[in-house]
Amino acid sequence: MRSLFISFAGFILFLFMEGFIRLVILFYHRTEFIFFGINELPGKVWIIFILTGTLINSWFSGMISLTIDQDNLKIQGMYFGLFILFWKCFEFIQTYRFEPNWYLFLSFIFAVLGTYISYICKKRSA
């Protein structure tokens, strides 16, 4: 139960950081806030910023989550990965009609890759 709660807290951190990146774009360009997708972004550079942010957010959130509970590293990584997987599936269901498939695919891959990298880093340091 403790691992599940810690993984959920790491997932909330992931959502907060992803939303924060979009808020930075909103205040910089004074555009409408969107939590999903890239169609309303002001330029192509911001797409790279969003995708890089997804990779870094999932890595950082995974590292925080795995650092708090070091006893059950595999279970902790699995719970956190499942939360990220469910979120990205939810995002896909909400936006697949409006957003390009390459963005949805890359966003999913970067989130899973960041989670996997955090697990590998923590496993090697332990």
Q: Give the C-alpha distances (Å, rounded to integers) separating 65 from 12, 30, 74, 94.
A: 11, 33, 12, 27
What's the pLDDT at 23? Answer: 82
> What digits encode the pLDDT tens for the residues 50-102?
889 999 999 999 999 989 877 888 888 899 999 999 998 998 898 888 888 89
Average pLDDT, the chain: 86
Q: CA 110 to CA 17: how far, in whole Å?
A: 15
Judged against a pLDDT cut of 80, whether residue 35 lies above it is answered with no
**What region does 24 belong to: left with phi over 0, alpha with psi -120 to 50, or beta?**
alpha
The structural domains of the chain, with segments of one domain joined by +, span 2-125
